[in-house]
Amino acid sequence: MEIIKELPEVFEEFSEQRRNSFLSVKEIKESGTPVIGAYCTYFPQEVAMAAGAAPIGLCSMSDEAIPEAEKDLPANLCPLIKASYGFAKSDKCPYFHFSDVVVGETTCDGKKKMYELMSDFKELYLMNLPNSQDEEGRKLWRAEVVKFIKYLEEKFGVEITEDKLRDAARLKNRERDAQRKISEVMIHDPAPITGENLFNAVYGSTFKFDKEELIGSLNALTNRIEDEYNHGNMLDKRSRILITGCPMGSGTMKVVNAIENNGGVVVCYENCSGYKNFDRLVDAEADDIIGAIADRYLKIGCSVMTPNENRYELLGRLIDQYNVDGVIDMSLTACLTYNIESKSIGKFVTEEKGIPYLSVETDYSKADVGQLNTRITAFLEML
């Protein structure tokens, strides 16, 4: 049976949240609340919240502004980097426009050099991310978090206390719990909703500024889905797909559509648009709260880390938890770290987990929609 008719309207509200919040960010800025923009999951949001600021993710997920970016950046660069720069330079991203500062991070060489150009027209604070999650990397990253705290204190004339950091960590943990709980409805087999609806709910939630309202909305939606499932409202039985790889957004939903229009359902997103963003919590009661915040973020399993053991740990756990039939690894064109790591991820999925694996490389254009549908349909038929 299909899910009740009213629920898609709720998912549409979450889907439109990014656009609806354009006005909200203007109102927040006019109220005197600082706005801090960022692009990456490594950005320690608790620090911004403890400073009394509103953290927000910036536009980087469609090809709308890429032509403007390519006036300054090479055409064969990762589309996420080009889109980030293009939206910023053309002033087509309200979140960027109203940000008092943009926080960048040295995740890859392309981003690092792009931020240099961006700093010509926007105040930009760069956090130096280590390329390893060992003890030396931990020390370096904790020191970067300390420097970021001092920067925000000086910029906004505030004091970021341990109590404020703990309060922010507790609130963010509750938000992550709410995002994880709604994702876990997909453990049901058959799935209760489509992967597209799940993505809209989780991704859209990141653009709500009122955290308490957000947590309440997500928990209410989760309860509603579970209630409908208990009354027999669910999808037909389909092949269960996990998506791993690069962050997803509007420009790459064609991959989800190719899966779900051809008999599959995306039951889990392991990438930064999904589980990586809310899998781990901050130990808000730790003696060293700054270290606890730093540790939580540094443990994110991104391909920029060498070695990247945490990605394999999370991926393996989710394959088992969600009873996954196959894994699709989506890499963006010219994202070298994810492109290269796809070989070892494929080996892990097929040999250690014993399920089929498909790697696809794409960008934000519509040029490869037909090819994606052909390859993904063949993969689903094999399942």
Q: What is the pLDDT of residues 272-285, one digit of tens each?
A: 999 999 999 999 99
pLDDT grade for 4, boundaries at 50, 70 and 90: very low
pLDDT grade for 2, boundaries at 50, 70 and 90: very low
Whether the predicted pLDDT of 6 surpasses 90? no
Mean pLDDT along residues 191-197: 96
Which of these CATH numbers, 1.10.8.80, 3.40.630.10, 3.40.50.11890, 1.10.1660.10, describes 15-163? 3.40.50.11890
Whether the predicted pLDDT of 233 surpasses 60? yes
Q: Which pLDDT tens digit goes with each residue over 28-86?
A: 999 999 999 999 999 999 999 999 999 999 999 999 999 999 999 999 999 999 999 99
pLDDT over 70 percentage in the chain = 95
Whether the predicted pLDDT of 210 surpasses 50? yes
pLDDT for the residue numbered 287: 98
Mean pLDDT of the chain: 95
pLDDT for the residue numbered 18: 66
Report the 3 state secondary structure along the chain.
Answer: CCCCCHHHHHHHHHHCHHHHHHHHHHHHHHCCCCEEEECCCCCCHHHHHHCCCEEEECCCCCCCCHHHHCCCCCCCCCHHHHHHHHHHHCCCCHHHHHCCEEEEECCCHHHHHHHHHHCCCCCEEEECCCCCCCHHHHHHHHHHHHHHHHHHHHHHCCCCCHHHHHHHHHHHHHHHHHHHHHHHHHHCCCCCCCHHHHHHHHHHHCCCCCHHHHHHHHHHHHHHHHHHHHCCCCCCCCEEEEEEECCCCHHHHHHHHHHHCCCEEEEEECCCCCHHHCCCCCCCCCCCHHHHHHHHHHCCCCCCCCCCHHHHHHHHHHHHHCCCCEEEEEEECCCHHHHHHHHHHHHHHHHHCCCCEEEEEECCCCCCHHHHHHHHHHHHHHC
pLDDT for the residue numbered 8: 59
Q: Which pLDDT tens digit goes with each residue over 303-361?
A: 999 999 999 999 999 999 999 999 999 999 999 999 999 999 999 999 999 999 999 99
Q: Which pLDDT tens digit goes with each residue over 362-383?
A: 999 999 999 999 999 999 999 9
Mean pLDDT along residues 81-103: 96
Mean pLDDT along residues 236-263: 97
Mean pLDDT along residues 84-95: 95
